[in-house]
Amino acid sequence: MENPLISIIIPTYNVSDLLKLTIKSVLNQSYKNYEIIIIDDGSEDDTKEVVRNFNNEKISYFKLGHTGMPAKVRNKGIEQAKGEYIAFLDSDDLWRPDKLDVQLKVLKENKELLGVASRAKLIPDRLIYHLRRSNYGIISFEQLLRKNIIYTSSVIIKKKVIEKVGKFDESHNLRSGQDVSYWLDILKFQDKSILILKEPLIIYRVHDRDLTRMRIRESNYFKKRVHKFKYLYLKYESFDKEYMNCLLRKWMKVILLDQRKRLIIEGNLSLKQILKDNLLTPFEKIEVIIYYYLKKMQMQLKF
């Protein structure tokens, strides 16, 4: 098909003010053969009115009882999708006007690819996010296991992928990891089949209502991360038991480091205590201290 239908799935929850610009960024796409499927996870704000005011036949709106599970919300969108391609967009992110055109061209020219993602431009800019997700090019299963480098809002996949791989994993242990688990499922089915474009095609809005940032503030955040990594370990241990054992140890060390960073920012841990921490290597202690001073500078710049 020359101009295939693209189904754009937008899960949302209580961000109606941000959702408006997100929808506009889709309506401003140079590629026009698409449908927008908005799945509302039980919002209590004026999300329904915001969507209704667009009065656009391309937009479908479905409201669920609140689940707090992005996988269930996205799966509901997949069930409604009629397109040959599926694109994912979080309700607080934005697309560059040529995003769909660029990615569709890449998919047509590279038949072996199952999906295409891209890098992101951040607003306001954050160095820490660039350090986490600066990769581009063809992504392997092993590479993605080590670190999630894919922005969900940048991804477009072929609908037939879902027929082969299935939908998002709805395990409660993956409340904050269902996206990377799904990309891993795709790469396990066909390795090196996802391409991350060097060119940033999305705008990632960093704000305090970001679901990931909200979960970080939860008291049991680190406990849930342990459960998430253990779940991923068991799910993919058949890949390479020895490699997965090493990776699990690495994941647990990452949790420990993040926990120390949180404690020192909250004032519940001093620099002196970090220096005496026997669970951290000298380099990890330096990392925590640098993080502390960067955060301190960032907070000062806000005032």
Q: What is the pLDDT of residues 194-231, one digit of tens each?
A: 999 999 999 988 755 555 544 445 567 778 888 888 99
pLDDT above 90 (res 133):
no
pLDDT band of 267, cuts 50, 70, 90: confident
The stretch 79-94 carries a mean pLDDT of 96
Q: What is the mean pLDDT of the chain?
A: 89
pLDDT value, residue 81: 97
pLDDT value, residue 302: 56
Q: What is the pTM of this model?
A: 0.84
pLDDT band of 251, cuts 50, 70, 90: confident
**CATH architecture assignment, domain 6-207:** Alpha-Beta Complex (3.90)
Structure tokens at 30: 């140079």
Instruction: Give the three-state DSSP class for 127.
Output: helix
Look up tokens 């990769």; give the residue: 135
Percent of the chain topping pLDDT 90: 64
Look up tokens 């993605």; give the residue: 144
Pairing of strands 85-88, 156-158: antiparallel
pLDDT value, residue 300: 67
Structure tokens at 129: 């996010």
Query: If phi over 0 gives left and psi between -120 and 50 gives alpha, with beta otherwise, what is residue 116?
Result: beta
Helix (H) or strand (E) holding 231, with range, is: helix 221-236
Measured CA to CA, the distance from residue 100 to residue 77 in angstroms comes to 18
Where are the chain's structural domains? 6-207, 213-301
